[in-house]
């Protein structure tokens, strides 16, 4: 069963507009009224520079790096040596630039900040995707992965769309973008509504929700709750913090009736076994929440 997921429109125009807005905010907090240190460099001096990756990574953040150069280094020219979504090796040149030295210096930290964050998200996502790539589906076939790696709303404030794009760039899938485009009924919603059956009936009867929600999903913590949700017509169920035997039993009980998603307890040591239970989706907050920045540096080669 394939999961119905919100899909961002990752067109060149969408990414450029998103990157321009993100970079505008980043430059406002970094540059303010002007770069005092770059002012020490003669105004008309030109230079060439390159950005090096100090470790292996999946490159992500090209639109953001280019937006920073456009905004503070007008007239600069650049060439990417590693394309968006491709892997680089340690000490490999990723980007070469030529332009006014002042502009390149002012853009440096903003370019690196976006590259180090988004490449980290893409790299971690790619590692999880690779980890489940050879897990056989329930019919025993490998190379046809049943479980998709999915992100969450655990993102840096103001950078959610950028991080979700990075997940996409790393081969993962986007969950709901925010509270406005899909329904995820959690334990507090269930308690407030009076139970699993009651909350599902209520959400289906609310026209303002059903008219816009891309999907309606309910979180369950026990097999009894799963059975109740299925009896109430749930089509997407989030299995929260269940151990492997319970997950396998949940897949058996479900029998293909609903899309099953797993959350909680997912790491590189457990993700293969979770995927092997036969669930459809594995959502991982750590893709965007706990990332360690990829190490990049910029060096002038002709100044």
Of 16, 54, 81, 154, the active-site residue reads 154
Task: Give the SS3 label for residue 299.
Answer: strand
Secondary structure (DSSP) of 206-235: -HHHHTT-S-EEEEESSHHHHHHHHHTT-S
Element (H, E) at 203: helix 196-204
Of 228, 240, 249, 295, the active-site residue reads 240
Of 66, 151, 217, 219, the active-site residue reads 219
- What Cα–Cα distance (Å) separates residue 21 from each residue in 68, 89, 118, 229? 10, 30, 16, 42
Is residue 154 among the annotated active site residues? yes
Is residue 84 among the annotated active site residues? no
CB 88 within 8 A of CB 55: no
Backbone torsion region of residue 132, taken as left when φ is above 0, otherwise alpha when ψ lies between -120 and 50, otherwise beta:
alpha
Is residue 9 among the annotated active site residues? no
Binding region: 109, 152-154, 176, 186, 219, 240, 263-265, 284-286
Of 31, 11, 23, nearest to 65 (Cα)?
23
Of 186, 204, 248, 289, the active-site residue reads 186
Q: From CA 188, how far away is CA 194, in angstroms rounded? A: 10
Binding region for substrate: 109, 152-154, 176, 186, 219, 240, 263-265, 284-286
Element (H, E) at 113: helix 101-131
Instruction: Enumerate residues 6+ apart whose C-beta is below 8 A from 168.
Output: 8, 10, 174
Of 16, 54, 81, 109, the active-site residue reads 109
Is residue 240 among the annotated active site residues? yes
Is residue 109 among the annotated active site residues? yes
Secondary structure (DSSP) of 47-109: EEEEEEESS-EE---HHHHHHHHHHHSTT-EEEESS-TT-EE-TTEEEEEEEEEHHHHHHHHH
> Catalytic site residues?
109, 154, 186, 219, 240
């Amino acid at each position: 069963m394939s999961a119905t997921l919100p899909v961002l429109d990752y067109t060149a125009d969408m990414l450029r507009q998103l990157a321009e807005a993100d970079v505008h905010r980043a430059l406002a907090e970094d540059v303010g009224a002007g770069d005092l240190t770059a002012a020490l460099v003669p105004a008309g001096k030109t230079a060439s520079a390159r950005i090096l990756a100090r470790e292996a990574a999946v490159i992500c953040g090209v639109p953001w790096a280019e937006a920073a150069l456009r905004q503070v280094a007008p007239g600069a020219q650049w060439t990417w040596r590693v394309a968006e979504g491709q892997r680089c090796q340690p000490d490999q040149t990723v980007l070469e630039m030529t332009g006014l030295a002042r502009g390149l210096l002012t853009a440096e930290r903003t370019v690196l900040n976006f590259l180090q964050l988004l490449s980290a998200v893409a790299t971690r996502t790619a590692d999880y995707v690779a980890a489940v790539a050879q897990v056989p589906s329930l019919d025993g076939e490998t190379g046809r992965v049943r479980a998709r790696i999915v992100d969450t709303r655990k993102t840096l404030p103001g950078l959610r769309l950028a991080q979700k794009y990075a997940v996409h760039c790393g081969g993962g899938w986007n969950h709901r973008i925010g509270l406005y485009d899909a329904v995820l009924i959690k334990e507090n919603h269930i308690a407030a509504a009076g139970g699993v059956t009651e909350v599902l009936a209520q959400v289906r009867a609310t026209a303002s929700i059903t008219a816009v929600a891309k999907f309606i999903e309910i979180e369950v913590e026990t097999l009894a709750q799963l059975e109740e949700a299925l009896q109430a017509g749930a089509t997407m169920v989030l299995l929260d913090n269940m151990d492997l035997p319970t997950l396998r039993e949940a897949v058996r009980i479900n029998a293909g009736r609903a899309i099953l998603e797993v959350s909680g307890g997912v790491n590189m040591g457990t993700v293969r076994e979770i995927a092997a239970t036969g669930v459809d989706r594995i959502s991982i907050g750590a893709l965007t929440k706990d990332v360690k920045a990829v190490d990049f540096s910029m060096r002038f080669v002709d100044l």
